[in-house]
Structure 1
Amino acid sequence: MTDILDDLAWRGLIAQSTDIDALRAAMNEGPITVYCGFDPTAPSLHVGNLVPLLTLTRIQRAGNHVVGLVGGATGLIGDPSGKSEERALNSTEVVAEWVQRIRVQVEKFLDLSDDSGSVLVSNLDWTAGLSTIDFLRDVGKHFPVNRMLARESVSARLSGEGLSYTEFSYQILQANDYLELYRRHGCTLQIGGSDQWGNITAGCDLIRRVEGGHVHALTVPLITKADGTKFGKTAGGAVWLDPELTSPYAFYQFWLNSDDRDVVKFLKIFSFRSREEIEALEKSASERPAAREAQRALAEEFTTLLHGADECAAVIAASGALFGQGSLTELPERTLAAALAEVPRTTVPALGASYVDLLADSGVVESRSAARRAVKEGGAYLNNVRVTDEAFVPAAEDLLHGRFLVLRRGKRSVGGVEVAAG
């Protein structure tokens, strides 16, 4: 089982650890129980949450037991690390709804069958009935304020905008979670993002003070991109796991568009492929970067894992068809709509404009003169059929699913038109 620590290290997934040799020794004695928490700060997890979630999955697949925790209680408070309490705190009803949605997402990755020895819990289960007096007497007394103030997530805020007592108490609540899971499930390792180091080690200290137990902490790095932009963000915002917030097509394209400088790192972090397979893809990326074999492997694996093989196949078909490598008429309406949402597009109240006008208005070309030039040069397409007449006006029979037109200039510039519902 200690091979998992070597694998995590090779994948670049160990940022900090309390004592990696002691953790290795504990794993040598047999399965341990590991937990990771996810706060419902939105109606869905995003791709950044996948780093600790997939790490938890790897640890379980190595033969250990895991506890996935969704923060029904801590989600009502808010973690102070890197954030400001100017944001509104969500209602109990909203947080409860988000807890259920996130539970469904976490369940896709973990084996929670009866014989797995693993569970999914909410910290509201043991926090809701805890009175303020009991919390202060039984838990709060173990937290020296000077240590709390010294934690990086707190000190950074105190040197700037400050923080409220509500946020200040977050680390005590998270530490109490570790204590409860130590008591209830024998958890001896908590993992999380590197920004959670102070909160996790606070739990280690609480368990030592209250139970005399020795437990472990391990964090995964916060992912950065080679171009300096934030990982998990696109022009449209965060990349979510919920298909209603980020379509499977957009999810696939996010991974497919990985920078050549990032794709091997992403394969190590997000793929379940073996070291040998990843090294082969690394060689391909180095020798034949234009083929984008590594990006395609990553996009296909992860879209299948999250959304299923059928959805991934539909996305791949749409990706090819948009660029003339397949039939647009065979694409499901939902998949085509999602694909066109990711390219330059325009909405019109009704048909009647010429192809040249639509090509320019969609943003595929910069002007009507450029659109006319594309037609003259033979590089203009409507639904993958070449347009040769500058005066051509699309008709109702050209509409896909009664509402879409796919425009293309050359091999790479694609756009869309949607006729608004009357």
Structure 2
Amino acid sequence: MTDIFEELQWRGMVAQTTDETALREALASGPLTVYCGFDPTAPSLHFGNLVQLVLLRRLQRAGHHVLCLVGGSTGLIGDPRPSAERALKTPEQTAEWVSRIEEQVQPFLDFDGSNPARMVNNLDWTRGITALDFLRDIGKHFRVNTMIKKDAVAARLNSEHGISYTEFSYQVLQGLDYLHLFREFGCTLQTGAVDQWGNILAGADLIRSTEGAAVHVLTTPLLTDSSGRKYGKSEGNAVWLDAKMFSPWAFYQFWINVDDAEVVTLLKVLTDLDREQIAVLEQQVRDEPFRRTAQRTLAELVTTLVHGADATRSAQAAAEALFAKGDVSALDERTLQDATAELPGGVVDTGSTIVDALVQTGVADSRNAARRLIDEGGISLNNVKVTTAEATLTEADYLHGRVALIKRGRKHLVAARRS
């Protein structure tokens, strides 16, 4: 596709625009300078931010100039949540998270090529503005009756908590960002999730008021889980991009377990697969959903994008070892720990019989039941069939000295953990 706007529409990445016809024409005649902001209100970006990074990546590949803004100043304030006031972070904590997010963004965009992306921090242009200048030069252009209509602000005004002036001023600060980037870099397009529409529009209105210029806004739909909740830290179901906060194994498994009803949408949004490739996977979802080919493709591509090919191969090897007949002894310690962390099981001491281990991990209700399972050939230890009830767990059976894997049949997997 040569029309980037058409591609974004096909991929389901366009929720709202200020003027679709004008934006389509501007993108086609470009290049435009576009920005998206990421606030350091947590030490890592998450699923929702990934959608925006992929959007910026597509626009950069289409030849447009990308500004990636990390909110050193807006992060000190915090975008108002509909429920309650945010706990303000210290300047030191915010600065640390700014650095982490700047580093996290690097792999998604090209900062060195012929059309390099640029990283900017809004603290650089707000720290020197006095309160009087801010109120006179920026605040003058905002109308309170318009500001209180924003969804999050309206929700807070109607709650018992109310809203502080600090959070109420957030949209003014974000509007200032767009104005500054318009003046400094000729930026004429801001992107964000659809729930940021009001904040983003504030910047476009500020540019129109101060500069007499029309600029563009594009928002993406909110992607939700099977219960209809958006993925995000405020919802308590965040899929973090930081490997220390959400391991590559857990990340890979998250995509493997995506519902059939959601997988094609996610393939369009998050991968570079074309129409024909996605049509084939969509057909497989309809005809052979039990194979989960679309989910495995999604998991491989997105995990590689975020964590790299090595981490993806480790996650795939762990899945094969745990749920098929792969070599569990070949798993590295971190992947093994992540993959078994939430498995049911129990503490089983070295030297215990396999019969006792089955009872202690909950696989069997009694020693007699455990013996029957072994005699029937239904028990394996580290993917090796157990042939005698007299077998005992040795030190060598505990992978990396931590855990032995006991499987009943094909799917019932438990962890015998060393005390």
TM-score range relative to shorter protein: over 0.9
Task: Report the Cα offset of residue 357 of structure 1.
Answer: 4.2
In 1, the alpha carbon distance for the partners of 2:189 and 2:402 equals: 53
Tell me which residue corresponds to 1:416: 415
- Unpaired runs of at least 5, structure 2: none
2:31 aligned partner, one-letter code:
P
Task: Report the Cα offset of residue 230 of structure 1.
Answer: 4.7
CA distance 1:327–1:58, shift in 2 (3 Å):
same
Tell me which residue corresponds to 1:339: 339
Tell me which residue corresponds to 2:171: 171
2:34 aligned partner, one-letter code:
V
CA distance 1:208–1:344, shift in 2 (3 Å):
same
In 1, the alpha carbon distance for the partners of 2:258 and 2:336 equals: 22
In 1, the alpha carbon distance for the partners of 2:207 and 2:165 equals: 23
- TM-score, normalised relative to structure 2: 0.93
Tell me which residue corresponds to 1:124: 123
Once superposed, what is the RMSD of the aligned Cα atoms?
2.1
Q: Deviations over 1:267-311 (max 9, x none)?
A: 111111111111111111111111111001100011111111122
Matching of residue 377 in structure 1 with residue 376 in structure 2: yes
Tell me which residue corresponds to 1:133: 132
Q: What is the DSSP-based 3-state SS (H/G/I as helix, E as strand, rest coil) of the residue aligned with 1:261?
A: helix
In 2, the alpha carbon distance for the partners of 1:114 and 1:135 equals: 37
CA distance 1:199–1:229, shift in 2 (3 Å):
closer
In 2, the alpha carbon distance for the partners of 1:302 and 1:104 equals: 18
In 1, the alpha carbon distance for the partners of 2:332 and 2:402 equals: 13
Q: Deviations over 1:367-416 (max 9, x none)?
A: 44665553343211111111234454311121212222112111112222
- Unpaired runs of at least 5, structure 1: none
Matching of residue 272 in structure 1 with residue 287 in structure 2: no
Q: Is the Cα–Cα contact under 8 Å of residues 250 and 342 in structure 1 kept in the other structure? A: no
Q: Deviations over 1:7-66 (max 9, x none)?
A: 111111111110010111212322001110111111111112211221121111111111
Tell me which residue corresponds to 2:330: 330
In 1, the alpha carbon distance for the partners of 2:395 and 2:236 equals: 31
Q: Deviations over 1:153-207 (max 9, x none)?
A: 2112111231111100000000000001111111101010111100111100100
Matches within 5 A, 1:143-222: 143-160=142-159, 161-222=161-222
In 1, the alpha carbon distance for the partners of 2:353 and 2:46 equals: 41
2:395 aligned partner, one-letter code:
A
Q: Is the Cα–Cα contact under 8 Å of residues 222 and 230 in structure 2 kept in the other structure? A: no
Tell me which residue corresponds to 1:22: 22
Task: Report the Cα offset of residue 240 of structure 1.
Answer: 1.0
Tell me which residue corresponds to 2:105: 106
- TM-score, normalised relative to structure 1: 0.93
Task: Report the Cα offset of residue 71 of structure 1.
Answer: 0.9
In 2, the alpha carbon distance for the partners of 1:360 and 1:137 equals: 73
In 2, the alpha carbon distance for the partners of 1:146 and 1:232 equals: 29
Q: Deviations over 1:75-126 (max 9, x none)?
A: 11111143421x4211111111111111111111111115314201111111
**Moved beyond 6 Å, runs of 4+:** none
Q: Is the Cα–Cα contact under 8 Å of residues 83 and 155 in structure 2 kept in the other structure? A: no
Tell me which residue corresponds to 1:245: 245
Q: Is the Cα–Cα contact under 8 Å of residues 267 and 298 in structure 1 kept in the other structure? A: yes
In 1, the alpha carbon distance for the partners of 2:164 and 2:335 equals: 45
In 1, the alpha carbon distance for the partners of 2:229 and 2:18 equals: 30
Tell me which residue corresponds to 2:58: 58
In 2, the alpha carbon distance for the partners of 1:170 and 1:106 equals: 23
In 1, the alpha carbon distance for the partners of 2:237 and 2:370 equals: 30
CA distance 1:399–1:174, shift in 2 (3 Å):
same
In 1, the alpha carbon distance for the partners of 2:82 and 2:370 equals: 47
Task: Report the Cα offset of residue 314 of structure 1.
Answer: 1.6
Q: Deviations over 1:116-159 (max 9, x none)?
A: 14201111111112111111111111111111112222112111
Q: Deviations over 1:334-377 (max 9, x none)?
A: 111111124324356x42444344445445x3744665553343
In 2, the alpha carbon distance for the partners of 1:352 and 1:89 equals: 53
CA distance 1:140–1:300, shift in 2 (3 Å):
same
2:139 aligned partner, one-letter code:
G
CA distance 1:19–1:258, shift in 2 (3 Å):
same
1:46 aligned partner, one-letter code:
H
2:101 aligned partner, one-letter code:
I
Matching of residue 317 in structure 1 with residue 334 in structure 2: no
Aligned length in residues: 416
In 2, the alpha carbon distance for the partners of 1:358 and 1:75 equals: 51
CA distance 1:104–1:208, shift in 2 (3 Å):
same
In 1, the alpha carbon distance for the partners of 2:347 and 2:63 equals: 53
Q: What is the DSSP-based 3-state SS (H/G/I as helix, E as strand, rest coil) of the residue aligned with 1:219?
A: strand
In 1, the alpha carbon distance for the partners of 2:57 and 2:144 equals: 35
1:379 aligned partner, one-letter code:
G
In 2, the alpha carbon distance for the partners of 1:105 and 1:38 equals: 11
CA distance 1:355–1:214, shift in 2 (3 Å):
same
2:147 aligned partner, one-letter code:
M
Matching of residue 282 in structure 1 with residue 282 in structure 2: yes
Task: Report the Cα offset of residue 2 of structure 1.
Answer: 6.7
In 1, the alpha carbon distance for the partners of 2:12 and 2:74 equals: 28
In 1, the alpha carbon distance for the partners of 2:354 and 2:82 equals: 49
1:113 aligned partner, one-letter code:
D
CA distance 1:40–1:236, shift in 2 (3 Å):
closer
Q: What is the DSSP-based 3-state SS (H/G/I as helix, E as strand, rest coil) of the residue aligned with 2:60?
A: helix
Tell me which residue corresponds to 1:257: 257
Higher mean Cα deviation, 397-406 or 262-271? 397-406
